Amino acid sequence: MSEEDLLKGHDTPAFRSLVKFEVDRAKEYYQAGDDLLPLIRPECRPALAALVSIYGRLLDEIARRDYDVLSRRVSLSAAEKLRLAGRLVAQTWLKT
């Protein structure tokens, strides 16, 4: 993969391989970060959990699209975001 391909936004097998590598690495960081959650102030944990859930779901969507991030923007629908938020709220209530 050349710098020119990157700058021009060419969708190549090498580019998709790079995106897959980055998705896998981000997921590993999220998993490793789970152990740090007790170090976060309790009142901040729900917001952090929401961010991790949303971004984790975006990573799943990138993988589902076979790592195609150039043909259209990767995003979640409002319904998907609400579903994730509702699940997090329920989990928070169950822990209290």
> Whose structure tokens read 């169950």?
94
Specify the pLDDT at position 96: 56
Specify the pLDDT at position 42: 85
> Whose structure tokens read 């923007």?
73
CB 48 within 8 A of CB 37: yes
Domain boundaries, the chain: 3-95
Q: 66 phi and psi, to 5 degrees?
A: 60, 40
For the chain, 96 residues long, give each residue's pLDDT as a single digit of tens: 778 877 888 899 999 999 999 999 999 999 998 888 889 898 888 888 888 888 999 999 999 999 999 999 999 999 988 888 888 778 777 765
How many whole angstroms separate alpha carbon 55 and alpha carbon 69?
Answer: 14
pTM, to two decimals:
0.80
Does residue 68 sit in helix, strand or coil? coil
Tokens of 96: 């209290």
